[in-house]
Every structure is written in structure tokens, then in C-alpha cells.
Structure 1
Amino acid sequence: MSDLASASQEASSAGYQKLVSQALESLPVSAPATAVWRTLGAAGALRALYGSSNTLGPVADPARLGALLRAVDARGDNGATLSVLVQAASALPVLGSGRSGPVPSAPSPVAAAYEQTLAGTTQVALAATDEAAAGSDLSGLGTEVRIEGDELVVHGGKRWVTNAGSAEYLLVLGRHRPGRHFTNFSWVLVPAKTAGVTVRAAATHLLANSATGHIGFDSVRLPADHLVGRNGRGMTVFARHMSTERLAGAQWAVALTSRVLADTRERLRQRTVDGEPLWHNAVVRQGFAECLVRVAQLRALCDSLAETAVKGQNLSAGALLKSAVGLTVDTVLARCTQLQGADGFAAGGAQGIRAEAGVLGIGGGVTELMLAGVADMSEQLLAELRA
């Protein structure tokens, strides 16, 4: 990239972050995630997030995606940030992949839902994790999507779905025929109030503002135009956008850990032992500095892999980013909980944040599986490192 293009991109990203920050500054910290999403949509921030598109849907601008997540994370509500992240990095792009209707003058329900969600007037929940299989085993899911004449029939269940309790639309990944082949799966847009749909809140006090829940589909019938994209393209589309979600997770991880480190540093500067701030203790400073280095390394990895990740053509980018998040976040937050001492157990302290941040090492693929994928690609990665 030329110096002029780089400067232009930085200016564009700075302007976008200012747009998002100004839009959110008047919103109460206690506002529900739906209000955060509405505000972002009304400001045009969601529509401006996607710089281009291809045959598999909208492509997010990585710098703007990072700016969006930093601004939302600054509010300190991890549930709301998770809600925004899943929609912006996964649900909207997948929905956008099937937005072209057969008749340009008569938009499909998918296209209409996409536009409403971009405008922030509705939310969409990405219902992928299945009740019939482990979260990491998407090809083993049991939710079915049958085509019967001019209708779709959805039957099964999804679990741990972000925005399940607040979304107007459910974006459901199901199988249309038996077997694990990637062409056996499709996406369906299910209005949340359709007969046969049941939603129950997940039994957890963590990430409360994410409206996470479990969804049941009891032979739910829909018109055939609620199929998202072509039948059998579900896994292909999902794989295309998965690395963008993993980049978003890494960008959020940088924002979250930086926020907690800044808070921890301030606490250490305020607390004293024998008249000296804890911040002046050499052991404390070394432990803090190690955390800072880890976060700086993760930020550098985000910057170096951002363009590759959003293009979705290099599996190693997503695997590296997701693995790095798993190896960084809990290590950094564990040290912060130690440095904050008893204060870490207070509301807003590092102990509670660490528990909620655990989603970064599980959602979208557990760290151990990501590392296995990195090992599988080791020959390619080593060649790139030595080039």
C-alpha cells in the first residue's frame, strides 16, 4: 500500500471511529444492546462498515471493524459488545450473501431483513451452535431444513445463541440432507415470532446484555424465499466469513485487555504500601509490562493479518488470530486479577471481566482446536515466516 493510500485509510478510520464514538456518547451506559445497535444503525455506522462485497456477501473494512469494537467496548458492557460483534462480523455478512431477490423490484424477505438490520431497526441472531452436537462440530448438527414444494420446514434446536432473546430474525444453519459433506447445509431466515419457534434464556448471569439463549424449532414452516442464498451453500458462506469473526474477536480482545490494563495501572498508582504506590514495586511493574507486551503482540498480529482475514481466502489467518486470543486474554486478565487484589471482586473488577472474557477462548472455536489447526498448517506457516 502506498504512503498516500495508507494515510487516506488512517484518516477514514479515524473519521469512522469519531462517528461511532459521537453516536454512542449520549447513550446511557446501562442501555440495552438493542439500543446500542439502533444507535449505530441510525448513525450510518453499520452501513459504512462494509467497504466492498463479492459473490459470498459483504466484506467488512478491517480498520473500521476494529474502530467499531473499540468504541463499543469503551462502554464497559461486554454483553453489548458481544451482541454487536456477532451481528457485525458474522450475521450481517451471511445474511447479505443471500440478499439478491429474483425480481429486482420485489426484494426478497432476506434482502428486506438485511436492510432493516443495517439500519439498526432490527437485530438478527446467528443460530449455528446446535443442540445435537458439540459447538466445534458444525458438520454434525441435527437441525433440519426440508424443502417441501414452495415451503421450508425447519426442525431442531440451537443453543448458546447470542441475541436469541432480543432478535427479530434468527439466521439458522441447518442440514438439507444427511452426511457431513459441506454441500449438505443451508441458511434459513426465520422470523422469531413464527409459529413453532421457542426461545428460552440461557441460565447464566454472565454477558447479561447479550440476550443469549437456546432456541427450539418445532416443524417451523416458512415460504421458500426465506432460504438465504443457494441451497447447499451454507458452509461455504459461513467459512468465508469465519475469519472475519475471528479477526473481530482478536480486535475486541485487544480493546478489552487494554481497558483492563489501564484500569489496573490506575489502581496500582492509587494504592500504597508504606507510603509508596504499588506501581513503584519492581515485581508489580514487571508483571504488568509482560501483559502489555502480550497485548501489543496481539495488536500487531491483528494489523498484519487484517486484510487477509476479511478476504476469507486464507484459513491460517483466522486460526492464528483465534489461537493468539486464547493464549493472550486469560493470561493477561489472570495477572490483572492478581494485581487488583480484593478490588478485582468488586463490580467492574477484573474477576468478573475475566469470567466474561472466557467467551473469546471458546466461542467460534476453542483454543486447543485452533492450535491443532495451526499445527496442521505448520509447513505453510513456516515457509511464510522464512520467506
Structure 2
Amino acid sequence: MPEVVELLERDRPVPAARPAPAGPGSGRELWARLGAAGALPGIYREGLPERGVVPDRLRDLIVRVEADEGTGPLLSVCVQAATVLPLLAEAGRRGPAAADVARRMLDGLSVVALAATDSGPGSDLTALTTHAEETRTGTVLRGTKRWITNAVHADLLLVLARRRPGPHFTNFTWYLVPADDPQVRVEAAPGPYFTGSGTGHVHLDGVPVLADGPVGGAGRGLALFARHIAVERLAGGLWAAAACRRALADTRGRLAERGLWEQPAIRQRLATALVRTRQLETLVEALGPAVAAEHDHTAAALVKAAAGETADHVLDVCAHLCGADGFAAAGMQHRRTEAALFGIAGGSTETVLATVADQAEALLSRPRGAAS
């Protein structure tokens, strides 16, 4: 079945498989390298994060980092490049502090952790308990944020906090706080996954916000989050496609080395996974411009749902076909487990499928048209 090899090698080069580095670098170090090399402005239209990403350029960056740096550093970079930096650049129109941080990030000189997911309600942001208090000396934040990427090595935390009771979307605001403030306590998240991402839990015990106050304006927290999480979901789709493609290339190479590639059942199973990967790539390419330019939430939900389900299927196939070798350190079983991220982070598959279902009538009425 030479067509399978041709499809794997065509269009986008698949980097050769390489062993995991003995001491993988951190996302902070990678961000600094990308900034120093001038690689970050190029992923945005006109070099301006507030103008939105260019999907093809973001894809190229993700493909390179996914192959060379590992999942932890890539997770660190994706959250900042797709969400934090564009959000701060947009908010910078309302406050000089956010604008200054965005400029420093673009040069790789600052790392900012997006502290949205709360203790208790998790990703149900309307139920978060982290809140702002007004004191004689200014606004302070109290609460706990869990599973925050970049928390361990960030300079600043971009914190979503409640400004008044109730679930109304205007009750939430973003604030910037220094990560090294004495009233901030960060603990690294346990576990063997996403090494280098700096993921941790953040405890805020009356930490003062930066003098600019609300980032992007009071009460605009959820609106800004909804706007920029769409692009993070696009980045997840681009990443999932790259991860699936490289996993298939590595698995096919391993099967050929072991003399197993000519077995029909193995060829068929890998080919089926390759079809799913190509479908995801095609979907991301078709919907990427709408997500990047218009923050199309329905298109982003389609990409996110497809990414989670495709990565789960493809990495499961690859892990199974690798046999016992898949259980080696940093082997395919480890990669399969980390691929579960695509069905959880940025909204679970079930959550984004609910968005797709809400738009089912519109989607079915124009099968060849835009997602929204």
C-alpha cells in the first residue's frame, strides 16, 4: 500500500523520529528562544497579536515545536500565543500595563500564565469563587486556581476573578498580578505528564492587582475569554493534527523495522487512522480562517470536537500497534495519555458538542458554507 507512505510524506514534511531529550527544556526557556529569534510576531497578521493569528503560520510553528521540543513546552507556548498575548494586546488599548506586558511577551521577555480554571467548579467559569475585594489600599484577589499552565515559571498571572455575586457574564473581570508577590503561592502539579509546561496550582491570599486595575475593562472577563478561547481551540486542532501525523509516521516506521508492515490487518488499521487524521487536517484548514479572523465559536467548537475524538482514536491505534514497545519511557502509550488533553483542555468534547448541537439547524442548512 504505497499510497499510505505517500500520504504521510506528502504536503507537510514529517520530522524523523528522535528520542526524547534527557532533560527537556521548559516552556519559559522555549518562549524566550522564540522571542529572541523574532519568531512570534510572524504568527500574527501584520505582526500584531490584536489582529489575530495567521492559521498556516501558527500551524508551522506548532509542527516544528511538537517535533523538536515535546508536549510540555508546546502546551506552554500554545496558551500564550493563542490566548494570553492576543487578549493582552487587545486589552492594551484600554490600559498601558497590558500593552507593555504584551510587547514584552512578543519579544520573549515575559511569561504570563492564564489563570482561569478555578478550584471546585473547574472550567465552569460562571461558578468560580476567586474574587476581587476592595480594600483601603486597592483591589486584592483571593481564591485558588488549579491546573494552570505556566504557573510555576510565570512572571505574571492573568487572573479571572469575580467582581460581584451571581452568574451574570458581566460579573467577571481579568486582573494582572505579579507571580512573585508574597501573597501568591504556587505549587507544581503532580504527575509525569507535560513536563516543562510549568503547570501548577495557584493560591491567592489578598494579592494586590497591578495599578492599571481591570484588564480590558471591568465586567468584560467572560466576553474576552470567549473571544480568545476560540483561537486556543484552533491551536489545539492544529496541534492534534500534527501529533497524529507524527505518531502515525513513527508507528509506520517502527512496524516496517520489525517486518510487520505487510500484514493486511495492521495496514488497514493504520490506514483508517490516517484517514481520520487527514479529515481533521482538512477541517482545520477549512475553518481556520473563520476562527482566526472572526472568532467563530461554532467553527472553533467543530475543530475542538474533531481534535479530541481524532487524537483519541489515532493515538490509541498507534499505541496498540507499537505493542510492548509502547510502554517504554516517553513511548507511544505515554503520548496516547497526553493526547487526552485535546478532549479536555479548552472545554471538554461534550461541552463543545453541545455548542455544535445548538447550531445543528444552521450547519445542516448550508453544508458547504461557513460554520456560522
Normalised by the length of structure 1, the TM-score is 0.86
The CA deviation string for residues 162-205 of structure 1, in whole angstroms up to 9 with x for no partner, is 01001101110111111111111111111101131110011111
Q: Is 2:151–2:200's contact at 8 Å kept on the other side of the alignment? A: yes
Change (3 A) 1:58 1:234: farther
Query: Where does residue 270 of structure 2 map in the other structure?
Result: 288
Deviation of 1:101 after TM superposition, in Å, equals 5.7
**In structure 1, what is the Cα distance between the partners aligned to 2:355 and 2:47?**
28
TM-score (norm 2): 0.90
Residues 272-324 of structure 1 deviation map (CA, whole Å, 9 limit, x = unaligned)? xxxxx210011100000001000000000000001111134422111101110
Matched, 1:370 2:352: yes
Which stretch of structure 1 is more off in the superposition, 79-88 or 29-38?
29-38
* Corresponding position of 2:8: none
Matched, 1:188 2:188: no
In structure 2, do the counterparts of structure 1 residues 109 and 101 end up closer, same or farther at CA, with 3 Å as the change threshold? same
Distance 1:372 1:35, change over 3 A: same
Match of 1:132 among 112, 120, 128: 120
Q: 1:35 and 2:35 equivalent?
A: no
Does residue 309 (structure 1) correspond to residue 291 (structure 2)? The answer is yes
Q: What is the CA-CA distance between 1:347 and the residue it aligns to? A: 2.1
- Which residue number in structure 2 is paired with residue 47 of structure 1? 41
Provide the secondary structure at the position in 2 that maps to 1:170: strand
Q: Distance in 2 between matches of 1:99 and 1:48?
A: 20
Which runs of 4 or more aligned residues in structure 1 lie more than 6 Å from their structure 2 counterparts after TM superposition? none
Q: Which moved more, 1:138-147 or 1:353-362?
A: 138-147
Which residue, out of 313, 327, 344, partners 2:309?
Answer: 327
State the identity as a percent: 44
- Give the residue type in structure 2 aligned to 1:269: A
Measured after TM superposition, the shift of residue 223 of structure 1 is 4.2
Q: Give the match for residue 330 of structure 2.
A: 348
Q: Deviations over 1:94-119 (max 9, x none)?
A: 111222366xxxxx222221111111
The 3-state SS of whatever aligns with 1:279 is coil
Distance 2:210 2:329 in 1: 47
Stretches of structure 1 that go unaligned for 5 or more consecutive residues are 1-13, 22-26, 103-107, 272-276
CA distance in 2, matches of 1:174, 1:111: 20
What does the per-residue CA deviation read over 1:198-237, in whole Å, with 9 as the maximum and x for residues that have no partner? Answer: 1001111111111100001101123441421111111111
For the residues of structure 2 that align with 1:116 and 1:264, how far apart are their CA atoms? 40
- For 1:281 and 1:71, the matched residues in 2 are separated by 32
The change in CA–CA distance for 1:181 and 1:386 in structure 2 (over 3 A counts) is: same
Contact residue 32 and residue 80 of structure 1 kept, 8 A: yes
Tell me which residue corresponds to 2:242.
Answer: 255
Question: How many angstroms apart in 2 are the aligned matches of 1:173 and 1:346?
Answer: 39
Deviates more, 1:292-301 or 1:356-365: 356-365
**Is 1:91 the equivalent of 2:84?**
yes
Residue equivalent to 1:360: 342
Query: In the aligned structure 2, how far is the partner of 1:52 from the partner of 1:312?
Result: 16
Tell me the residue number matched to 1:61.
54
Instruction: Report the count of equivalent residues.
Output: 353
The residue number in structure 2 matching 1:242 is 229
CA root-mean-square deviation: 2.3
AA aligned to 2:319 is T
Cα displacement string for residues 33-56 of structure 1 (whole angstroms, at most 9, x for unaligned residues)? 2221111101111122221599x9
Residue 217 of structure 1 corresponds to which residue in structure 2? 204
Letter in 2 for 1:40: L
Aligned partners of 1:190 and 1:226 also within 8 Å: no
Q: How far is 1:75 from its partner?
A: 1.1
Post-superposition CA distance 1:327-367 (Å, at most 9, x none): 10011111101110011111232100011111111001111
User: Hey, what does 1:166 align to over in structure 2?
Assistant: 153
Inter-partner Cα distance in structure 2 for 1:59 and 1:185: 24
Alignment partner of 1:201 is 2:188: yes
Q: Equivalents in 2 of 1:113, 1:171: separation in Å?
A: 11
Describe the SS at the equivalent of 2:347. Answer: coil
Query: What is the CA–CA distance in structure 2 between the aligned matches of 1:369 and 1:329, rounded to whole Å?
Result: 17
Corresponding residue for residue 175 of structure 1: 162
Gaps of 5+ in 2: 1-10, 16-20
